[in-house]
Amino acid sequence: LNSYLFITAIPIHCTAPLPILSSSLSNFLQTAHQSCSEIMARRLFSSLSVQSPINLSVSGGIASLGLSRPQARNALGQDLVHRLRKALHAIRHDRQVRVVLLHSTVPNVFCAGADLKERAKMDEAEVAMFVHSLRDSFKEVQDLPQPTIAVLDGAAIGGGLELALACDFRIGSSSAIMGLVETRLGIIPGAGGTQRLARLIGPSKAKELIFTGRRINGKTALEIGLIDYYVDGPSGFDEGLKLANDIIPSGPIAIRAAKTAIDKGLEVDINSGMVLEELCYSQVIRSKDRIEGIRAFLEKRPPVFKGE
């Protein structure tokens, strides 16, 4: 990919067009860069085999991201986290992916948290480095441009729950058991749990769950706002798939812009948030998808969005 190496040397990722390039050449370079990114993403998809602790497949615009480490109840070991980050990179750069569905392929467990057997062999510096990597990985989940849905069947404990907290939506089944139990081990949640849980359910309830290390079921999680949907059955996968399919018809550029406006807007005051919303709106108003949406409405047909 010699041409790809040349293209990526030019900072065409900037939103503003390059003044030194003609419009046609700039468009060509951006298209070539995007195509090469998608080729590399596809190669990453194929490298995540069924033997991997991460199973990744795409169908109908939905990326199914399955945790698959049955011998360790999907514990967050170094290899699993490394492969998770590879999968997230592939998803981020694949325009065909409209929604991400995070789930477990192992019965009765979503993720049991940290791999304590592996961690027991680490020194303090190695533990700190791994937790930092875990925190960054979950930030990558949070920052995916596509909507993310976590399906919690069985145990979602410690880092497992922190992973789910990094997603946009959480669905819990009657088999779900959730908890941030780190204080029972003499530590604290270190992959975003103290921050995301408090923002989601309020500081008092977050402190109660973290200070006590209490585990709660799906019904209780729904009552306190920890999950968005509760399924009275052993699996919430079908409900997650339904939600994903409800999102698919919406314009992908609009969805990404709305996610940015909401997530980043919550980090600033309301007036700054309004400015951010205006900036995000200015991005979608220039898109071909917006024209298609208006045309489809006038022609009384479903729009065909291409993410352009």
Strand 54-59: give its sheet, edge to edge.
54-59, 62-67, 99-104, 148-152, 169-173, 229-231
Q: Is 159 a catalytic residue?
A: yes
Q: Specify the 3-state DSSP secondary structure of 266.
A: coil
Q: Specify the 3-state DSSP secondary structure of 26.
A: helix
Q: Are 260 and 252 in contact (CB under 8 A)?
A: no
Catalytic residue, candidates 158, 159, 240, 251? 159
Q: Is 182 a catalytic residue?
A: yes
Catalytic residue, candidates 72, 75, 114, 155? 114
Q: Is 162 a catalytic residue?
A: yes
Q: What are phi and psi of 109, to 5 degrees?
A: -155, 135
CA dihedral of 46, 50, 56, 59, whole degrees rounded to 10: 90
Catalytic residue, candidates 61, 90, 162, 166? 162
Residue 285, amino acid: I
- What's the rounded Cα separation, in Å, for the pair 152 and 121? 29
Catalytic residue, candidates 72, 164, 182, 244? 182
Q: Is 166 a catalytic residue?
A: no
Q: Which residues are catalytic?
A: 114, 159, 162, 182
